[in-house]
Amino acid sequence: MNEKQYKQKLITLGCAVCRRLYGITDSPVQLHHFRSGGWGRGDYTTLIPLCPEHHTGKTGIHGMGTKAFDKFYDNHGFTQQTLLDDTKGLI
């Protein structure tokens, strides 16, 4: 699967957080680059589909900051790494 096909598939999955928390699979998606271990973007296989709220909103990765996001959602049983693993399992 090439990059364009991969991204199109991600868009159809809906938000990874909404899927985990509420079972919602048809939310609008923005693609988030997971950065494991520091700065710089990974390639397209490190993208996580997130709705606008969970990407840039008050309860989102960029709204809370990556460390706060992982700490907060770890209490719900997942982190960014978990979301990436879930996403790759659905591709």
70 within 8 A of 35, measured Cβ to Cβ: no
The answer to whether residue 66 scores a pLDDT higher than 70 is yes
Indicate whether 83 pLDDT > 90: yes
- pLDDT for 79: 95
Higher-pLDDT residue of 36 and 56 is 56
Assess whether pLDDT exceeds 70 at residue 51: yes
Residue numbers of the domain that contains 18:
3-90
- R_g of the chain, CA atoms, integer Å: 12
Q: Mean pLDDT, to the nearest integer, of 61-69?
A: 94
Judged against a pLDDT cut of 70, whether residue 39 lies above it is answered with no
CATH value at residue 75: 3.30.40.190
pLDDT at 85 > cutoff 90: yes
**In whole angstroms, how far apart are CA 55 and each of 1, 51, 67, 80?**
25, 6, 14, 11
Number of domains in the chain: 1
Averaged over 56-81, what is the pLDDT? 95
Report yes or no on whether pTM surpasses 0.85: yes
